[in-house]
């Protein structure tokens, strides 16, 4: 009787143990969660818990109070940055576009890459490859920039080329919705 029970346990224990080990190894790196950011003007799906930091940013001859809500997974950063437009810019479509253009150019500059003569339109993908100042490996980013509801908004997925998978960057970008 005991030997039969022992054989039954041994026979079933190995598959159960193997399944348990596989499940333990499958803990997801990306734990996607949707959040409202930019004072409710943007809804984004982030792959991990976020942190928000705010600082002064000089851009296009203006000083903006720029906030960045970001999550980091596997040394890749997924972020939504936003700043209220200065009063001198908010009602001026040309000035707003110029500020958005300055933000797009800064994305290229951050990776030491040359910006194209014709910048991508608002909400269009911006893919930049280069070398970040603090990274040892080649880096890349996928970004989009908008001016909407009195805000300058950017969404960015950035990381080393060997750390940030293109499908993860696109998944993040596809999860960003700007409320107009």
pLDDT tens for each residue of 78-118: 999 999 999 999 989 999 999 999 999 999 999 999 999 99
Is residue 40 within 8 Å of residue 30, measured between CB atoms?
no
Q: What is the pLDDT of residue 28?
A: 59
- Distant-in-sequence, close-in-space partners of 170: CB < 8 Å, separation ≥ 6: 142
How many CA atoms does the CB half-sphere of 51 hold within 13 Å?
4
Each residue's pLDDT tens digit, 26-63: 445 789 999 999 999 999 999 999 999 999 999 999 99
Is residue 30 within 8 Å of residue 73, measured between CB atoms?
yes
Mean residue pLDDT of the chain comes to: 87
Is residue 42 within 8 Å of residue 82, measured between CB atoms?
yes
- pTM of this structure: 0.82
At the topology level, CATH places domain 29-178 in: Protein Transport Mog1p; Chain A (3.40.1000)
Give the start-to-end residue ranges of the domains of the chain: 29-178
**Sheet order of strands, 33-37 included:** 33-37, 42-46, 177-178
């Amino acid at each position: 009787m005991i030997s039969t029970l022992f054989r039954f346990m041994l026979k079933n224990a190995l598959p159960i143990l193997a399944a348990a080990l596989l499940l333990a190894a499958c803990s997801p790196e990306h734990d996607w969660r949707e959040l409202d950011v930019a004072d409710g003007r943007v809804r984004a799906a982030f792959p991990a818990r976020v942190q928000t930091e705010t600082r002064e940013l000089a851009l296009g001859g203006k000083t903006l109070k720029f906030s960045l809500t970001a999550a980091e997974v596997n040394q890749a950063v997924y972020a939504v940055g936003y700043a209220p437009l200065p009063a001198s810019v908010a009602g001026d479509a040309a000035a707003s576009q110029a500020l958005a253009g300055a933000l797009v150019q800064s994305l290229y500059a951050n990776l030491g890459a040359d910006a194209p003569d014709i910048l991508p339109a608002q909400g269009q993908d911006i893919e930049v490859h280069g070398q970040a100042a603090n990274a040892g490996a080649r880096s890349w980013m996928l970004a989009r920039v908008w001016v909407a509801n009195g805000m300058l908004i950017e969404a960015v997925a950035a990381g080393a080329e060997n750390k940030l998978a293109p499908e993860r960057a696109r998944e993040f970008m596809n999860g960003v919705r700007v409320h107009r």
